[in-house]
């Protein structure tokens, strides 16, 4: 008689059954295990350098085909709100080989490059419909002419360089400032020029003295010497004195208002000599 087989499961089968009864094991077998198998297959496939390079080449080709679609191509550049000279400078600064894909254009980088031009205060760069690279420019407005060691330079109201100037006569509408450090005090210079008022037609320019104060240079080799502090107030007092006594119509070389409490009048050499001769005759 054969011995009866033990119906109880083996120890290994028992442990496997208990393992399958654990929470999450069925989900692991349904989702986790297939993912691990796929990952293993992917790692094995990617371990071959030839296959890996071929895959990258295919991706690059697909990307190139998408980027070079007609709707993504830029065919021309338009510079707007800029003078002809500034527009020419921008085109020289940004040599473009059209057509070019819009994906290859760094708009922020192009904008930063355009803003490196002295004459450009601000710029915006965008791609318009029709494949147009549109560059809109806000130019600096020249406010003064600065004569420095480098020649004549146009500056805006804040003292930023705009461009070089060939000759003073090219911009007779702008005031002239001269002297070292004059370019750093443009806002104050404009306030002084504005305060000249009745004598503006006689003003030939402003001279920066010692990088701290201004002299107003007039025709007939006259000047009004202003203080370091409150130059506009001093100039207004000089103009009021001229209106009351025709001061600047006399043989005066300079009106020194560096001390507001004690202004000094300096005569011309001819007037000084005449006054000296007159005193001698009186003494005789």
What is the mean pLDDT of the segment spanning 177-201? Answer: 95
pLDDT of residue 247: 87
- pLDDT at 116 exceeding the cut of 50: yes
- How confident is the model at residue 36, as a pLDDT? 83
Whether the per-residue pLDDT at 155 is higher than 80: the answer is yes
For the ranges 16-20, 94-98, 102-106, 195-199, the maximum mean pLDDT occurs at 195-199
Would you say the C-alpha torsion 177, 179, 180, 185 has a positive or negative sign?
Answer: negative
- Predicted confidence (pLDDT) at residue 219 exceeds the cutoff of 50: yes
pLDDT at 9 (0 to 100): 61
Query: Contact at 8 Å (CB) between 203 and 238?
Result: no
Question: Which of 43-57, 183-197, 226-240 is least confident?
Answer: 43-57
Class of domain 144-283: alpha beta
- 42/135: higher pLDDT: 135
Q: Where are the domains of the chain?
A: 70-139, 144-283
The answer regarding whether domain 70-139 maps to CATH 3.10.110.10 reads no
Integer distance in angstroms from the first to the last C-alpha of the chain? 173
In angstroms, the CA 99 to CA 75 distance is 5
How far apart, in Å, are the Cα atoms of 208 and each of 56, 74, 82, 162, 228? 66, 51, 33, 20, 10
pLDDT at 182 over 90: yes
Q: How confident is the model at residue 71 (pLDDT cuts 50, 70, 90)?
A: confident
Structure confidence at residue 50 (pLDDT) = 78
Indicate if the alpha-carbon torsion angle 112, 118, 122, 123 is positive or negative.
Answer: negative
- Does the pLDDT value for residue 266 go beyond 70? yes
- Provide the pLDDT for residue 280: 45
**Highest averaged pLDDT of the listed ranges 48-52, 62-66, 113-117:** 113-117
| Sign of the torsion formed by the C-alpha atoms of 85, 90, 93 and 98 | negative
Residue 205 Cα to chain centre, angstroms? 28
- Examine the pLDDT at 58 and tell me if it is beyond 80: no
* Average pLDDT of every residue of the chain: 85
Q: How far apart are CA 142 and CA 156, in angstroms?
A: 4
209 pLDDT more than 90: yes
**Distance from C-alpha of 241 to C-alpha of 222, rounded to nearest angstrom:** 15
């Amino acid at each position: 008689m054969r011995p009866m087989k033990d119906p109880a499961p083996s120890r290994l089968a028992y442990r496997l059954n208990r393992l399958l009864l654990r929470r999450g094991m069925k989900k692991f077998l349904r989702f986790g295990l297939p993912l691990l198998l796929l990952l293993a297959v992917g790692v094995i496939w990617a371990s071959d350098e030839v296959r890996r390079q071929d895959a990258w080449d295919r991706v690059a080709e697909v990307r190139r085909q998408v980027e070079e679609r007609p709707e993504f191509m830029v065919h021309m550049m338009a510079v707007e709100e800029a003078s002809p000279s500034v527009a020419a400078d921008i085109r020289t600064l940004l040599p473009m080989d059209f057509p070019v894909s819009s994906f290859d254009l760094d708009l922020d980088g192009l904008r930063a490059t355009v803003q490196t031009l002295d004459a450009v205060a601000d710029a915006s760069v965008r791609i318009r419909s029709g494949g147009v690279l549109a560059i809109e420019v806000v130019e600096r407005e020249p406010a003064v002419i600065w004569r420095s060691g480098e020649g004549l330079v146009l500056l805006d109201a804040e003292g930023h360089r705009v461009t070089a100037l060939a000759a003073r006569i090219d911009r007779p509408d702008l005031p002239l400032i001269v002297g070292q450090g004059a370019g750093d005090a443009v806002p104050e210079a404009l306030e002084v020029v504005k305060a000249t008022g009745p004598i503006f037609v006689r003003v030939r320019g402003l001279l920066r003295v010692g990088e701290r104060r201004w002299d107003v240079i007039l025709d007939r080799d006259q000047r009004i010497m202003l203080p370091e502090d409150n130059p506009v107030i001093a100039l207004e007092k000089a103009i009021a004195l001229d209106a009351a006594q025709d001061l600047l119509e006399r043989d005066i070389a300079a009106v020194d208002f560096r001390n507001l409490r004690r202004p000094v009048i300096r005569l011309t050499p001819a007037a000084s000599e005449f006054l000296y001769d007159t005193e001698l005759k009186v003494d005789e």
